[in-house]
Every structure is written in structure tokens, then in C-alpha cells.
Structure 1
Amino acid sequence: MGYRFGRDDIAYLGSAAGRAALAEVDRLELTPATHLRDIEQVRRTHGEHTAALVETVRLRRKAVAKLPGSGDWLFTDDALQQATPALVARHRAGRLAGRAVHDVTCSIGAELAELARTCPAVIGSDLDEVRLAIAAHNLGIAPVVLARADALTPTSHDTVIIADPARRADGRRTYDPAKLQPPLPDLLAAYAGRDIAVKSAPGLDFDRLGWDGEIEVVSLDGAVREACLWSPGLTEPGVTRRATVLDSHGGATTLTDTDPDDIPDRAPGDWIIDPDGAIVRAGLVRHYAAKHGLWQLDPQIAYLTGDTVPPGVRGFHIEDRFDLREKTLRQELSRRDCGSLEILVRGIDLDPDALRKKLKLRGSHPYTLVITRIGRTGVAFLCTASAPASRA
């Protein structure tokens, strides 16, 4: 769980002496091999501040990929894990540009930092005094008002409410809306009639929520990061599902359920495409296929197929197709001198690692095996993978 910071720690770490000490500690390796030696060196020089200094340097190093530009920020381990990646928060801030906003679960200020770039008035509140002190440090001179307040008690007017309920209960990740902290039903009731955006786990059962606004699923660099519930006043008419695909180079593509979804029913083409997880989770596979001239291998399976690969996407060129039999796969892969084998599976209860061991591959050529079903029949497509095609 990491070191438990107190307000005295935050005051020290933000002081001139604390900043100098952090710079000194950051010059240490702090690896498992050097840990004991480094800790002893810090303890000799900085005594009671050792744990706070070492933990802060460790967390800053960990935060680099998730929160670029946060080099002088303070964190707690839990808060860093829960923080929204900067590019995802920036995307949301862009949708709220020009609006006054109130983040009622602001934590250490990661979301507030992005909102302050685009919104004329920004308020952040939290019950945790330590996290509020950290947020004040992290935001510096940014024009943000911070206050200690319960997320379930409305304390602002004429603002868009943003909330990020904690997704753990009893130390475990939960997908039950009633077990989030604060509970999602209570949060929505507290702000009934208000414009609100609520971050949630993409694994929630959206169909059971009864949400009458938009559910946006967001991925970053191929990994699904979150779902966001947008109230009707914050979305376009008719949109109830949106998939947003972001990348670290600034790319952003979006689909909604108002886009066309008419696709043909055809035999497999030359390529198989595995759509981004945000598209799959948002239920927009057919919409993505229609946009790029693709179709489905099976109406119930998210794999797509076609004769070309969409720009910026990795495709799998079909070399052959087999019945899903272990003996057949072993013989065919051996005949093709297969060595490394990527195995992708949808719609079949199969452990790729266990299958790879059984195939006893000893060759030198790399392949991808796409295993799925068409109708009730299990099939295996032997493919060669392409690098992502360049965008136009």
C-alpha cells in the first residue's frame, strides 16, 4: 500500500529543504539491489523524513508515463494508481471547454490540472485533507479553488459535476455500482437534474445501469482505460454509446452509435482485424466495420475481416484456415517451420499458453493463430501479422 503520508510530510516535501532533499534522493538508484544501501544513506542524512522522501521519488518515477510533466508533483501510492492518465483527462477537458466545472472527488489534482487549461472556473473538493494538500502543491498557481467537502453534498451551483468513485471495496476491485465509493446510485441522486460526468470502470454492466445519457469508453495506446457516463446535457442528441481511441502521439478517433452500422454478410476476406478494446466494450464493432469497409467473421464475434487494413491498425493476413484440432494444428505449424506463435482467441474457451505448450514449436518463422468460431464451429486462421498501416 505504500507509505502513509501526513500533512506534515506534504509541508516538508513542498519546502525548500524538502525539494533539495528530493533532488538528492533522486540521484540514488533505489533498485532492489541497492535498496538497503540507499535507504541507509538517506536515513543518515534525513532521519525521520526518509520514508517520505524515498516513497516520493519512487512514485515520481512511476508517474512519468501516466502523467508526463508531473516531475515535481507529490503523490500517494493509491492516488497515483487511481489517477486518470493525462491524455484521457485532457480529452475530457476538451469536451468541457468553456464550462464551469466542479470535480467532487479531486484527489491529488490530476484531472483539475487538465480542466484548468480549458475551463473558465474550476473547483476541486475531497474529504481527504492530505490529498487536498497534495493537490494544492501539484496545481501551484493554477486558478483552481480547493475545498474539503463530501462528494454526496452539493456545494456548488451552475457547474458541471465531475466524479471518479473509487472502484475498490474490501480491498478488491468491484464492478457493482452500489459498492463504489461514493456509491454510484447515491452520487447520481445527489446531482439529479445537473450536468454530470462520472468516470467508471469499463467492466461495468452498462445495460443494467439504466443510464439515459451517453456512455463513452476510452482507450489509450490500445489499453482500455475507463468508461465515462455523460448526462444528456453534455452529449449530442441521440448518442448513447461512444468509443474514443487515443494514442500518445496525439491521435484521436471516435465512433458513436449514430454512425452507420450496415455491413455485408460475406466469407472471410484477406485480413482479420481485432478492433480496439474501446470499440468492443462500447458495442460499436459493426459501426467500425461499416466505416472501414469491413464485415464480421461471425455476427456474435468481435473479429472483423476485409480485403484491406484500416490506417493505423495492425492486421493479420490469412495464410490458411484449419479445423480447430490440436493434431492438425501441430502438423501444419511444424510443416511451416513455425517458431514463435501469437495466439488470439475470441468465442472459444481455450488457454493460449496451454495450447502453445502442447504444439511443441521448434521452428524459426513467426506466425499468428486467430482462433474463433463461425456459427457453432471452432476454426483457426493461420496468419502473418502486419505493422500498423500509416494514417493518411
Structure 2
Amino acid sequence: MAYAFSAADIAFLRSSGGEDALAACADLPLTADSRIGDVAAARRICGPEHAAAVLETVMLRRKAETKLAASGAWLFTGEALQQASATAVAAHRAGRLAGRDVHDVTCSIGADLVELAAVANRCIGSDLDPVRLSMARHNCAEAVVAPVLTLADALRPTSRGTVVVADPARRDSAGRRTWRPGDFAPPLDELADAYPGRDLVVKCAPGIDPAVAPWAGEVELVSLDGQVREACLFGPGLATTARRATVLRSDGTQWTVTDREPDDTGVGEPGEWIVDPDGAVVRAGLVRHYGARHGLWQLDERIAYLTGDAPPPGVRAFRVLDDGPYSEKSLRATLRRFDVGRVEILVRGLDIDPNALRKRLKPSGRSEASVVLTRIGRSPRAFLCRAERIPA
């Protein structure tokens, strides 16, 4: 059960005594085996009334290290941290609103707000939860221009002339993830109805069907280091295309493909390489556009794998070593022939569990390889490959 922070907890954590306590507890192990000792140490340091809040904050800061660039001194709730945008993703989205007046109407702990404040002309943040709002005030204190923060309902407009940014909560009252836009908090349709004629940006889960938001002029799928992080809906006044895929890397590199680009990718026989496009490209329905950009073609018009004689720069691609019709028996023989003992299995278009198949294959050789399983037409096909990272 997640710890429920109180206003008193936040007041303490933001005080000099709270900062000292957090520093003193920062190196505690915080493992299941050390729990009793950790609690006893925290009680000695800051008293029993503050120990739980301090320990939870230390633990959440550790979890945030790989997600948020400036998390070392931030305050969080567990749920807010889970929903918060990774810094690179938040910064990318904020960049599209640079120079505008922006109002984040579900600002929570401020993970998006701090990036908006760095580029917006004027920035406002509001939330219904006073505890999270206090955390946002703390987390955004070091912004070059601190945003204006206010307690307000996202469905009751409190600003004029601003771009409205929202990140509705996507969990029900029992904490279970919900995929129905009507169950978002606030609900997606009510959010759109509350701001008629306004420029609206709504962050959603990657699996959302854009058809549930007919007001949106553009949907952008964003991935970070190979993991699809969000679908972002942009109102007509902010849209520059209907569908966009943006691929971000932690090293600062990024690229984008949109449906305005040519999609004249053909279907043909396997080339020297197989390319599994980034998940953002696949979810945005831009596989053909991506293939056309890089001179690739599809193995099957209904399958997202691409093939060609030269893979795109900066991707992990699969050099084909052998291929043929798929069956477990034939694949097992191929693995023995190539002396494969460690195998990665990728599947599209076939009802196969890679982990279960790997156990049944029982590879025992000395080399490693990747197996790409798919179908071409109605025929299942297996490709034995060597995965290679292509230089950017």
C-alpha cells in the first residue's frame, strides 16, 4: 500500500529539519531484509511521526533517478511518479509549445510543468490535490521563471488565452489501470468540452485509439530508448500533420517521421537485413513511410517488419544468415547447424510465445543469434539472424 503523504509531511520535508533527515537517510539500504533496521534508524533520526514520510521519499527519489533528470531533491507520491513523464519526453513536448502562454491543468508534482516553464512565455500550473500542488511548488522552485501555481479543477477553466495541457489520471478508484477515456480523471471528452476553441494538448497512454478524440488534429507517438512512452493528442490549432512518430534517445539524439512523407514502400523478397521499426513508428501506423524514407520494403503488407540491403543508421538491425519455412523441428535443426546456444526470438503475425518456444528448443551451442518469426502471406517463416547496432 502506497504511503499517503499529508500536508504536515510536506511541510516537514521542505523544512531544514526535513532536508537534514532526508540526507541522513539517503544511504540506508531500503531492502526487504533491512526494513526493520531502516525504520529504526529513521525513527532515531527524525522521530516516529516523520520516519515513514522520509523513508518513502528516499525510496521514490531512487526510483526517479532513471526517469527524471532533477529528481535528487524532489518530492513525490508513488502514483504521481509512476505517471510522470520522463524528462526527455516532457522536454520534447514542451518544445512544441515554446514561446506560448501555457496552463498545465493537471500539473501534479510538476514533472511536465518544470519543462514547460523553461520554454514557455508564461506558465501556470493547477491541480485539485493540495499535497501534490505543494510538491510541485517545491519541485519547480529552481525553475528560471517559476510557474504560477493554484488549486483548481481541470474542468473549470481559470485562465484565458493559454494553451491547455493535461495529463489525465488513468487508474480507477481501486488503483487499477484503465484504458477507457471515460474513466480518465478528468474524462477525456469532458476535458475537451471544457475548453472549446482553445489549443489543447492531452498526454495519453500509447494504446489509445485516436478515434475517441475526434477533436484532435494530430496524434504523436513518442518513444524513449526503444520504449513507447506516450501518445500525445494535439488540437487542430497545434497540429502540423495527422500522425507523427518521434524517437528519442538518452544521448540527446532524436528523429521524427510523419504521414506527410511518401509511403510508397513495396512488398518483396527478403533482403540482406530485417528491420523491426521502433514501436512509436508501428503504433503511429507509419511503417510504410519509414520504409520509404530508408529504401526498405515489407516482407508482407500486413506485417510491420521491413527488409532491405542497407539498414537505417543508428538502429539495431538483423543481418539474415539463413531463412526458410518455420516449424519447431526445422528451427531446432537450424540452431544446431549454426551452433546456437543463446537465442533471442522476435515474433510478428504468429501466435507464438517466445519464452515458451525458447524453453522447448533447448539451444545448447556456443554462439548466439536472433530468430525472427513471421508470416509471408499465409506461410510461417523463420529467419536466423545476427543482431548488429548500425552506427549513426
Q: Normalising by the residue count of structure 2, what TM-score does the alignment of the two structures yield?
A: 0.97
Which residue of 2 is the match for residue 223 of structure 1? 227
Aligned pairs (5 A) from 1:144-163: 144-163=147-166
Answering whether residue 306 of structure 2 is matched by residue 292 of structure 1, we say no
Which residue of 2 is the match for residue 74 of structure 1? 75
Deviates more, 1:343-352 or 1:330-339: 330-339
Write out the 4+ residue segments of structure 1 that deviate beyond 3 Å after TM superposition. none
Distance 2:27 2:388 in 1: 41
Answering whether residue 191 of structure 2 is matched by residue 187 of structure 1, we say yes
**C-alpha deviations, 1:40-98, integer Å up to 9, x for none?**
12112322110001000000111011001221111110110010111101001110000
Deviates more, 1:34-43 or 1:75-84: 34-43
Q: How much has 1:212 moved relative to structure 2?
A: 4.3
**C-alpha deviations, 1:208-233, integer Å up to 9, x for none?**
44344000000000000000000111
Q: How much has 1:141 moved relative to structure 2?
A: 4.8
Aligned residue pairs total 388
Which residue of 2 is the match for residue 319 of structure 1? 321
Q: How much has 1:258 moved relative to structure 2?
A: 0.4
Deviates more, 1:309-318 or 1:321-330: 321-330
Q: Is the 8 A contact 2:21 2:45 kept in 1?
A: no
Answering whether residue 63 of structure 2 is matched by residue 99 of structure 1, we say no
Q: How much has 1:33 moved relative to structure 2?
A: 2.8
Distance 1:25 1:257 in 2: 51
Distance 2:147 2:156 in 1: 20
Deviates more, 1:210-219 or 1:121-130: 210-219
SS in 2 for 1:172: coil
RMSD across aligned positions (CA): 1.1
Which residue of 1 is the match for residue 373 of structure 2? 371
| One-letter code aligned to 1:217 | L
Answering whether residue 129 of structure 2 is matched by residue 128 of structure 1, we say yes
**C-alpha deviations, 1:221-272, integer Å up to 9, x for none?**
0000000000111122xx1000000011111100110011112332110000
Distance 2:201 2:53 in 1: 34
Deviates more, 1:166-175 or 1:125-134: 166-175
Q: How much has 1:171 moved relative to structure 2?
A: 2.4
Of the candidates 366, 380, 383, which is equivalent to residue 381 of structure 1?
A: 383
Which residue of 1 is the match for residue 208 of structure 2? 204
**C-alpha deviations, 1:147-187, integer Å up to 9, x for none?**
11111111100000000011112422122111111110110
Q: How much has 1:205 moved relative to structure 2?
A: 1.7
Q: Normalising by the residue count of structure 1, what TM-score does the alignment of the two structures yield?
A: 0.97
Distance 1:63 1:366 in 2: 34
Distance 2:353 2:71 in 1: 40
Of the candidates 250, 253, 259, which is equivalent to residue 252 of structure 2?
A: 250
SS in 2 for 1:278: helix
Q: How much has 1:279 moved relative to structure 2?
A: 0.3
Aligned pairs (5 A) from 1:298-309: 298-309=300-311
SS in 2 for 1:42: helix
Aligned pairs (5 A) from 1:78-89: 78-89=79-90
**Identical-pair percentage:** 58
Distance 1:347 1:251 in 2: 31
Which residue of 2 is the match for residue 176 of structure 1? 180
Structure 2: gaps spanning 5 or more residues: none
Answering whether residue 5 of structure 2 is matched by residue 5 of structure 1, we say yes
Structure 1: gaps spanning 5 or more residues: none
Which residue of 2 is the match for residue 52 of structure 1? 53
Deviates more, 1:31-40 or 1:275-284: 31-40
SS in 1 for 2:73: coil
SS in 1 for 2:288: helix
Distance 2:247 2:100 in 1: 24
